[in-house]
Structure formats: C-alpha cells, structure tokens
Amino acid sequence: MRVRSALFGTLGTLATGFGIGLLFVPDLLRGAGPIDASVSALSGTETTTIGLVAGLLVLVAFGLIARSRSATEGPTPSKSDSRFERAATAPPEDATVSDGELTAAGLDNDLKQAVESGGKQLRDVRSVLRETATSAYAERVDISEQQAAAVIDSGEWTDDKVAARFLGRESFPLWVRVRRWLTPTQERQRRIERTIAAIERVASR
C-alpha cells in the first residue's frame, strides 16, 4: 500500500508540474523529446482546460493516497469502546458467597487484626468471646445468662486458666504480663486460641 501511495503521489506531482509548465512556460518543454510532441498536441487547447485536467489528476492522486492510508490504518477504537469490549468478554463473577461464609470471613479478619494490633480490636474480640462463652455455659448448666456471666467473671466455667483469666476478672500473673510485653503478638494469639478451645469444650458437653 505504501508503494502505491508513493506512485500516485509522484504522478500527481508530475502532472501538476506539467500543467503549470504548459500554462506559463510552454517554450521550456518543447526541447524535451516526447514532451515536445505532447506540447505540440496541446498547443491548440485552451489553458483553462489544461489547468482543469492537471488539477483533476492531482485530486485523483490525493484521493487514492488518502484511501490507501485509511484502509491500512483502520479505525482506532476509543478508550470507552475498549473498556466496554473488555467488560463484555470478561464480565465480573457472580456473587455466590453465602451469608455464613461472609460472617466467618469477617470474624477471621477480626481475629487477625486483634492478634496483630491488640488495643480496640482485641477488646472487641474479647467481648464477642465472652458473650459466646456466657451463652454456651448458660445453656449447658441450664441457668440464666446473668448467672452464667457471674460464673464467667469468676473463671469457674473452665479449667483452662488462660481462658478463665482472659474473659474473667482475675489478672494474669506477673511473668505472663512480662511475656506479653516481650512477645505481644504471640501472647495475644495464645490467649485467643486457648479461649476458643475452652468455649468449644463447654458447648460440646
């Protein structure tokens, strides 16, 4: 296509030059062999006609060049069209996650944040675990949740001292507090895991 464009462009340029020469300086073209014969043949033609023919040749050449370029390059899709095509060929996945899976994923994320950060996240997780332990113990021994909450406070709901102290009022001994200061992430994880295991034992009885 590029060779064709160059050929028509060259022909258009030559036609333009030839037409201008015939209009303004025909004597300069008479000594050019074949061109002399063409000039003699066209000597009786009006200059206006010659100019029109030359102009027409130029327009035809330019038209062919433009057509070949458009056919080679083709239309360029816009950004919005490209985005639409990508969305059509790769649509987003359907939401198939159940509420239970979402709740479990949220709880798992809360536990990770509590272990890593402590602070408010740890207090929130402790509150959830305390409510769960209270309900499980109240159901197991058939008492009210208010009575079960008092047992949780005293730590008598489980034999695991770590879980009992984490949810109850009894403080951890000094050496445990030192360990939390030295390895806070590991100690928070240990307390949460031991408490969850203790609640599972109460609920399974």
Reported as a single tens digit per residue, the pLDDT across 106-131 is 677 888 899 998 899 999 999 999 99
Q: Which two tokens stand for residue 14?
A: 């030559």
Q: Does the pLDDT of residue 18 top 90, yes or no?
A: no
Could you tell me if 118 and 188 are in contact, meaning their C-beta atoms sit under 8 angstroms apart?
yes
Instruction: Output the pLDDT for position 160.
Output: 96
- What percent of the chain is predicted at pLDDT more than 90? 39
Average pLDDT score over residue span 51-70: 54
Q: What was the pLDDT predicted at 88? A: 44
> Which of 4-13, 17-26, 46-55, 154-163 is predicted most confidently?
154-163
**Digit-coded pLDDT (tens) for 129-167:** 999 999 999 999 999 999 999 999 999 999 999 999 999
Percent of the chain with pLDDT over 70: 48
> Once rounded to an integer, what is the mean pLDDT over residues 72-93?
46
Region 68-74: mean pLDDT is 51
- State mean pLDDT over 22-45: 51
Q: What CA–CA distance (Å, rounded) separates 151 from 9?
A: 98
Q: What would the mean pLDDT of 34-63 be, rounded to a whole number?
A: 52
Residue 151, pLDDT score: 97
Q: Higher confidence at residue 85 or residue 119? A: 119
